Structure 1
Amino acid sequence: MGTGPFAVPSFDALRSGGHEIAIVVTKPEPPVKSRKGPPPAPTRSWAEQHSLPIFDPLSINDPQAIEQLKSYAADLMVVCDYGQILKPAALESTRLGGINLHGSLLPAYRGAAPVQRALLSGDAETGVSVIHMTPRLDGGPILGTRTTAISDQETSGQLEERLSHLGVELVLQCIEQLTTWDGRSALGNAQDADQVTKAPRLSKREAEIDWNQPSKHIDCLVRGMQPWPIAYSMLKIRDNKPALRLAILKVSQSREDVSDLQPGQIAGQSDLIVATADGALKIETLRPAGKRDMSGEEFLRGYQLPKATSFQTPDPTRSS
């Protein structure tokens, strides 16, 4: 069971490793809103590429869907990046229940955005966990983990891809554990309830940069919001024109002396240096709304900012 790209490396290892895949369960395709239609989800594309059967119920917990699952007489569900929460009846549709590959070191970051939340929090390391599934979201006993350091250059997208490959061997080892399980004895290690943290889905509102924050916080925001929803900031260049929305794609630490500037104020006319709460950041790459990606230097040459121009402070009442 999977939908997004995080599932594909482990699923492909199962396919090529001699396991019989009874069915690939994925979320249904969204309604077509244009002639081209939406791009196929990664798990669906992978299944079609290898001519594997697909089951895509609107709700996996619907009684008819559960009867369909039972009809496959599968031993185990392998769930990763699926997008639906399985209730007890669905979990009981296979002999050994289900295992789930999760992109964090559980019990940290239970929820839909574990990779992004670890990066946004400035964590030095993260990893993957495999649990034996229970009805509680990401709350089952842990069968195994793998840990890795987070690079100070990685975006969420890059880190997620790396973690998806880190989990492959772990998934295979945990399945091997289950081949000798009697279905009754204790399995894995219970999660410490006192250490639980949540990883809710990202929102566009969270992506607006507050330059009153420390430089490290802003750097983590820029990297953590890629590939979606992308960190941004609003820049008012001319009084008679609306503020320009700039997607901020890469920043770096700057040693520029900005002690006489307020957070959000732009320093210099060659490099795009912005004052923060505790120093300054250089905007390396950005994208003006409707334009291509460009360097900070290119942006300054093209837009010729007035002196003392500042990025706007986020407005909590403005929708993104």
Structure 2
Amino acid sequence: MKLIFAGTPEFAAQALQAIIAAGHEVALVLTQPDRPAGRGMTLQPSAVKKVALEHGIEVFQPLTLRDAEAQAKIAAFGAEVMVVAAYGLILPQVVLDMPRFGCINIHGSLLPRWRGAAPIQRALLAGDAETGVCIMQMEAGLDTGPVLLRRAFSIEAVDTTGTLHDRLAALGAGLVVEVLGKLPLPAESQPAEGVTYAHKIEKVEALVDWSRSATELDRHIRAFNPFPGAQALFGGQTVKIWQATPVAGQGEIGVILSVDRHSIVIACGEGALAVSELQKAGGKRLPVQQFLAGHPLKVGERFDRPE
């Protein structure tokens, strides 16, 4: 099948690799413009652009798809379908209508739950029992289109955004290849009930509020791993918490209840959190024993409450 692929991050790059491996003709790749990154803030290509260049596929990086020149370029390829995954630009109706089979999207949630930009983090923060991937026929609304294929799996107690991302990306890559091999497929309209929106994650949300329950904070820490990292405050300094487990315990909120070489136990609004991996600003992620060697913490000391 002759297709156009539109995507930007690693989640999309895995799908592009799978589509190429399945033997489809990817005539054009759309991706976000190169962005400055790293210490030198040099321009870096997206993960999708790297895959496209490795396979000699033409790359197009418009700032918008609303101008006639960009639309004419896309139309000229005569693609049968466009596959979209975490692209980052809105597709106007004229573009959605161009391919014979329209545009299909790989979305990392069980629609209509968690439409929008951050479905993985929002599912973890909400304590969802499962997540999955939907391959959706795109329409003008935000992730409102009918679903061609869906597959679910359980969210485990140790899952982070990072681990879920990898499982969802692999699943999405497999499902989109399956759909491409069966087009045209019947699509199932999304139900009106159960709609939730996965609003974009803001850095300020990463702050740890010890007045919340240990169960909530466990989900919070896993949701912000690997980015931007759950941020606690101690003595006015930021300490990122990367790994923790809810445990029994009670005390004044934010106070350290016990310290040993395996964990630092901190009182929460309900229960306590045994923290086992931390990172001081400018430092490395460290297990508790190594962290304490450079930053001793004592029973009775207290983590700050966010303002």
Structure 2 length-normalised TM: 0.92
CA distance in 2 between counterparts of 1:132 and 1:303 reads 52
Query: Does 2:74 align with 1:81?
Result: no
Equivalent residue, structure 2, for 1:246:
239
Shift in Å, 1:115: 1.0
Shift in Å, 1:220: 0.7
Equivalent residue, structure 2, for 1:228:
227
Do the aligned partners of 1:76 and 1:97 also contact (CA within 8 Å) in 2? yes
Do the aligned partners of 1:272 and 1:300 also contact (CA within 8 Å) in 2? no
Relative to 1, partners in 2 of residues 1:122 and 1:54: Cα closer, same or farther, differing over 3 Å? same
Paired residue total: 300
Relative to 1, partners in 2 of residues 1:116 and 1:32: Cα closer, same or farther, differing over 3 Å? closer
- For the residue of structure 2 that corresponds to 1:287, the secondary structure is strand
CA distance in 2 between counterparts of 1:128 and 1:177 reads 17
CA distance in 2 between counterparts of 1:31 and 1:207 reads 23
Equivalent residue, structure 1, for 2:275:
283
Amino acid at match of 1:165: A
Do the aligned partners of 2:16 and 2:51 also contact (CA within 8 Å) in 1? no
Equivalent residue, structure 1, for 2:3:
none
Relative to 1, partners in 2 of residues 1:307 and 1:172: Cα closer, same or farther, differing over 3 Å? closer
Equivalent residue, structure 1, for 2:77:
72
Per-residue CA deviation, residues 182-239 of structure 1 (Å, 9 max, x unaligned), is: xxxxx41111122110001101110001111111110111111112111111001xxx
Amino acid at match of 2:143: D
Query: Does 2:152 align with 1:147?
Result: yes
- For the residue of structure 2 that corresponds to 1:128, the secondary structure is strand
CA distance in 2 between counterparts of 1:224 and 1:36 reads 27
Shift in Å, 1:30: 2.1
Residue of structure 2 aligned with 1:116, choices 121, 142, 145: 121
CA distance in 1 between counterparts of 2:36 and 2:164 reads 30
Please list every run of 5 or more consecutive structure 2 residues that lacks an aligned counterpart in the other structure: 1-5
Equivalent residue, structure 2, for 1:295:
287
Do the aligned partners of 2:121 and 2:223 also contact (CA within 8 Å) in 1? yes
Pairing of 1:127-276 with structure 2 (within 5 A): 127-179=132-184, 187-236=186-235, 243-255=236-248, 258-259=249-250, 261-270=251-260, 271-276=263-268
Relative to 1, partners in 2 of residues 1:58 and 1:103: Cα closer, same or farther, differing over 3 Å? same
Equivalent residue, structure 2, for 1:62:
67
Query: Does 2:304 align with 1:305?
Result: no
Shift in Å, 1:306: 5.3
- For the residue of structure 1 that corresponds to 2:182, the secondary structure is helix
- For the residue of structure 1 that corresponds to 2:74, the secondary structure is helix
Please list every run of 5 or more consecutive structure 1 residues that lacks an aligned counterpart in the other structure: 182-186, 237-242, 316-320
Query: Does 2:95 align with 1:95?
Result: no
Percent identity, please: 35
Shift in Å, 1:168: 2.5
Do the aligned partners of 2:256 and 2:298 also contact (CA within 8 Å) in 1? no
Shift in Å, 1:159: 0.6
CA distance in 2 between counterparts of 1:32 and 1:207 reads 21
Shift in Å, 1:157: 1.3
Relative to 1, partners in 2 of residues 1:148 and 1:253: Cα closer, same or farther, differing over 3 Å? same
Do the aligned partners of 1:269 and 1:300 also contact (CA within 8 Å) in 2? no
Relative to 1, partners in 2 of residues 1:307 and 1:220: Cα closer, same or farther, differing over 3 Å? closer
Per-residue CA deviation, residues 143-175 of structure 1 (Å, 9 max, x unaligned), is: 110001111111101111111111223212322
Equivalent residue, structure 2, for 1:240:
none
Query: Does 2:37 align with 1:45?
Result: no
Amino acid at match of 1:203: E
- For the residue of structure 2 that corresponds to 1:69, the secondary structure is helix
Shift in Å, 1:268: 2.3
- For the residue of structure 1 that corresponds to 2:289, the secondary structure is helix
Relative to 1, partners in 2 of residues 1:128 and 1:288: Cα closer, same or farther, differing over 3 Å? same
Per-residue CA deviation, residues 244-282 of structure 1 (Å, 9 max, x unaligned), is: 210110001334xx43x2121111242411011221111
Structure 1 length-normalised TM: 0.89
Equivalent residue, structure 2, for 1:30:
35
